Structure 1
Amino acid sequence: MSFVGFLTALAVLQAVLNVFRADPAIWPGLFALVMVLATWLVWKGRARYSD
């Protein structure tokens, strides 16, 4: 797992835990979405240039 993937896993975990708080915020979910997109772009870029 890459560094971006690790940070994505932490962001998703934080977003899930945030759902169960008494006053959940939208920002952890948005950050998790951005990180998932970044991980996808890194994965696609690595697949493109690995040949």
Structure 2
Amino acid sequence: MIILGVILVVLGWLLGISILYTIGAILLVIGLVLLLLGAVGRPVGGRRYWF
């Protein structure tokens, strides 16, 4: 999710399409929050592990 967010932010910035930039920023923030929650050992969505 983080990688997709970064790709969309870069594409939105290069192509000048603001909706791509916005969606990419939202995905990036959500991905970082989930990464942080997983790193501290907190279950996300009722599951401790996603594999």
Settle same-fold status: TM greater than 0.5: yes
Structure 2, unmatched stretches of 5+, are 43-51
Task: Give the count of matched residue pairs.
Answer: 42
Q: Pick the structure with more helix per residue.
A: 1
- What is the TM-score of this pair, normalised by structure 2? 0.55
**Residue 9 (structure 1) shift:** 1.9
- What is the TM-score of this pair, normalised by structure 1? 0.55
Deviating beyond 6 angstroms after TM superposition, the runs of 4 or more aligned structure 1 residues are none
Structure 1, unmatched stretches of 5+, are 1-6
Once superposed, what is the RMSD of the aligned Cα atoms? 2.1
Return the structure number with greater relative CO, CA threshold 8 A, min gap 6: 1
The reply to whether residue 13 of structure 1 matches residue 10 of structure 2 is no
> Partners in 2 of 1:38 and 1:49 — Cα distance?
17
- Residue 22 of structure 2, aligned match among 14, 21, 30: 30
